[in-house]
């Protein structure tokens, strides 16, 4: 592969990433405006309809009844927990578009249909999954920060004499997204006949955040065994805040190892690209040798193993 064949691939990747970034930005802004309008509408005293709840579920890649729409549960759950509102069909279309474009470009550059198929499968599936995982991680991090304040709001509502459904709906109206949106959906499900245990289980499935499991278990056990739920949730808010502080401390202590791993991973790739553009003959003279490609494959495998080891060294479960 020479520099002339590399230019179309780089242009295609740049244009594709620009289109994806623009689409995600517009989609996020549109969703925020719609969410704000819905909150103002509900706060003004009007009641939502069950049809609105069904439309919200469909926008979150669920069926109108709240079930998964894809046979691949893990993928459907990833789309749901990422907060993407484009729908399953749009994400599947994006995967197909990426796979087709990648196959076209890789087949031209490498002049091999087998490499094109492998690259198309890797990019068509890997890139959307990577973006969705990043969106889920960011969303869960925001949810983790907002959860203690939401529990405090619930405690105040319960101590004022409100029921659990009313207190959850209040949190949905007062808290910002993503927590406010999820609690608003849970409040709507409780309003239209779903029991507390099932509604909270749906909330946990939509978010997938570990601290939320403690809240769901606390409310479920209290509904069956009785007890002072306000006191339980107040103590739980304190525990979650302390866990959040401990996670931040562990993240700060492991920052050096994480950035070292990123630098060591990016450095050989960046140097390879620079040398390929500046001096194509540097690798071109030996590229035809039979042992070069297997050696690069072994180096790639060892780099992946090293990345895995470094990731395990700096990743802490709190």
pLDDT in tens, the chain (318 residues): 455 555 666 666 666 666 666 666 655 555 555 554 555 454 444 445 667 777 777 777 777 777 777 788 888 888 888 888 777 778 888 888 888 888 877 777 676 778 778 888 888 888 888 889 999 999 998 998 899 999 999 999 989 888 888 899 889 888 888 888 889 888 888 888 888 888 898 898 888 888 888 888 888 888 888 778 889 999 999 999 998 888 888 888 888 888 888 888 888 888 888 887 887 777 777 777 777 778 888 888 888 888 888 878 777 766
H-assigned helices in the chain: 3-43, 50-59, 73-82, 88-110, 113-159, 164-174, 179-191, 196-207, 210-225, 229-253, 255-278, 281-284, 292-314
CB contact at 8 A, 65 and 46: no
- Give the Cβ contact number of residue 95 at 10 Å: 19
Q: Which residues of 219-228 are buried (b: 16+ CB within 10 A; e: fewer)?
A: beebeeeeee
**Half-sphere CA count of 37, side-chain side, radius 13 A:** 6
| Cα pseudo-dihedral 103, 83, 136, 32, rounded to 10 | 110
68 φ/ψ angles, rounded to the nearest 5 degrees = -70, 145
For the entire predicted model, the pTM comes to: 0.71
What is the pLDDT, as a whole number, of residue 260? 83
Tokens of 230: 């306000």
What is the pLDDT, as a whole number, of residue 84? 81
């Amino acid at each position: 592969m020479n520099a002339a064949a590399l230019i179309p691939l780089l242009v295609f990747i740049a244009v594709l990433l620009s289109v994806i970034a623009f689409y995600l930005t517009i989609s996020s802004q549109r969703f925020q405006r719609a969410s704000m309008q819905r909150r103002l509408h509900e706060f003004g005293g009007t009641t939502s309809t069950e049809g609105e709840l069904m439309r919200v579920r469909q926008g979150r890649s669920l069926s109108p009844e709240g079930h998964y729409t894809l046979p691949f549960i893990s993928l459907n759950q990833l789309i749901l927990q990422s907060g993407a509102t484009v729908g399953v069909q749009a994400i599947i279309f994006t995967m197909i578009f990426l796979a087709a474009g990648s196959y076209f470009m890789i087949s031209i550059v490498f002049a091999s249909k087998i490499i094109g198929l492998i690259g198309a499968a890797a990019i068509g599936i890997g890139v959307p999954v990577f973006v969705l995982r990043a969106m889920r991680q960011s969303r869960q991090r925001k949810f983790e920060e907002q959860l203690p304040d939401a529990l405090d709001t619930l405690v105040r509502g319960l101590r004022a004499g409100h029921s659990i459904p009313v207190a959850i709906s209040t949190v949905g109206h007062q808290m910002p997204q993503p927590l406010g949106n999820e609690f608003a959906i849970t409040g709507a499900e409780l309003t239209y006949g779903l029991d507390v245990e099932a509604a909270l289980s749906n909330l946990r499935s939509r978010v997938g955040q570990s601290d939320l499991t403690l809240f769901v278990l606390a409310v479920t056990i209290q509904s069956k065994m009785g007890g002072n739920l306000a006191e339980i949730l107040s103590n739980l808010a304190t525990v979650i805040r302390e866990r959040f502080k401990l996670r931040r401390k562990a993240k700060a202590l492991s920052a050096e190892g994480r950035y070292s791993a990123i630098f060591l991973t990016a450095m050989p790739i960046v140097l390879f690209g620079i040398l390929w553009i500046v001096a194509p003959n540097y690798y071109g003279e030996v590229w035809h040798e039979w042992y070069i490609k297997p050696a690069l494959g072994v180096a790639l495998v060892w780099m992946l193993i090293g990345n895995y080891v470094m990731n395990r060294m700096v990743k802490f479960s709190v």
